């Protein structure tokens, strides 16, 4: 269903509040730069520190600005199944094209618990659902077998894979078939992910290098491998710099250098270190994003 470069949107803040004007301008800029899809209020959008009202409003603003030009996959995950259903119902009502739902964090459900969590959401809300499998943040890793069980529900259509397992896309494709959408959550490993059967990336780097990320995926779809490898090599240092500290601190600093928003995050995330700022600035200069 989805392919190409989707951006895991940052949520700009100013004076402690969501900067609505900056967010709307940022979404418009992303579309103009060729981004293939928008993902508001995921981890990069600091969903853990947004109130429910803010969460809903950011999704609504994103859908309004996109106005059907590109798909919007709204982050609606929670470690409470009831809360995830509430958030997903809102995304459906607001007009989102799909929902991105993270594996429940902290409470460490079993594979059966994971199955029941997603099945309950898919049965409660008639919207395409993308599973977000990120063991590094949520501790649990959804197995291919569990994902195959869930894929029998017509509403569960894909995965954002942040496992770091190079063989996982091939295993998933073998078990679930080519129609099950596979999006990477790892910018630096996108080329091997695509080569192993992936369809695209939900990208942090696309926040500040949207055109390059879009061009890489377009080149891949056109089987222009020389261009793919040139862009990937050019972006590698930037991918690495944007994870020198917990995301989205570094990428928000990068967006600030581009004049897109303030670098502010909400506690417990805080201003990144001066050494980290230097890494991000140097990487952006090496890519040509800054003079």
Over residues 6-33, the pLDDT tens digits come to 999 999 999 999 999 999 999 999 999 9
> How many angstroms separate the Cα of 12 from the Cα of each of 23, 201, 258?
6, 22, 13
Of the listed 3, 160, 252, 260, which one is catalytic? 160
pTM surpassing 0.75?
yes
pLDDT for 73-111, tens place per residue? 999 999 999 999 999 999 999 999 999 999 999 999 999
Of the listed 115, 132, 173, 260, which one is catalytic? 132
Cα 104 to Cα 151: distance, rounded to the nearest angstrom = 18
Q: Give all domains of the chain, ordered by start, each with its CATH number.
A: 4-222 (3.20.20.70)
- 3 catalytically annotated: no
| Dihedral over Cα of 59, 5, 2, 195: its sign | negative
pLDDT for 105-150, tens place per residue? 999 999 999 999 999 999 999 999 999 999 999 999 999 999 999 9
* Surface-to-core class of residue 153, CB atoms within 10 Å of its CB (0-12 exposed, 13-18 middle, 19+ buried): middle
Contact 36, 77 (CB under 8 A): no
- 132 catalytically annotated: yes
């Amino acid at each position: 269903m989805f392919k190409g470069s989707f951006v895991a949107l940052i949520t700009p803040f100013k004076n402690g509040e969501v900067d609505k004007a900056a967010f709307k301008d940022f979404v418009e800029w992303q579309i103009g730069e060729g981004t293939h899809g928008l993902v508001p209020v995921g981890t990069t959008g600091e969903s853990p520190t947004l109130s429910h009202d803010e969460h809903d409003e950011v999704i609504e603003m994103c859908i309004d600005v996109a106005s059907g030009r590109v798909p919007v996959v709204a982050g609606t995950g929670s470690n409470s199944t009831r809360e995830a259903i509430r958030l997903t119902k809102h995304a459906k009502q607001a007009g989102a094209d799909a929902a991105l739902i993270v594996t429940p964090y902290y409470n460490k459900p079993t594979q059966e618990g994971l199955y029941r969590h997603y099945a309950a959401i898919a049965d409660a809300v008639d919207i395409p659902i993308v599973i977000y499998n990120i063991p590094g943040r949520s501790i649990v890793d959804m197995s291919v077998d569990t994902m195959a069980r869930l894929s029998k529900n017509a509403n569960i259509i894909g995965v954002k894979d942040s496992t770091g397992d190079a063989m996982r896309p091939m295993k998933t494709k073998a078990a679930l078939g080519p129609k099950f959408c596979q999006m990477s959550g790892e910018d630096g490993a996108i080329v091997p992910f695509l080569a192993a059967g992936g369809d695209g990336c939900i990208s942090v780097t696309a926040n500040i290098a949207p055109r390059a990320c879009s061009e890489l995926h377009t080149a891949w779809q056109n089987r222009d491998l020389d261009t793919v490898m040139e862009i990937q090599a050019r972006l590698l240092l930037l991918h690495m710099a944007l994870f020198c500290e917990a995301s989205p601190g570094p990428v928000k600093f990068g967006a600030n250098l581009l004049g897109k928003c303030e670098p502010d995050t909400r506690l417990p995330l805080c201003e990144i270190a001066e050494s980290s700022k230097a890494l991000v600035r140097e990487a952006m200069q090496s890519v040509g994003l800054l003079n």
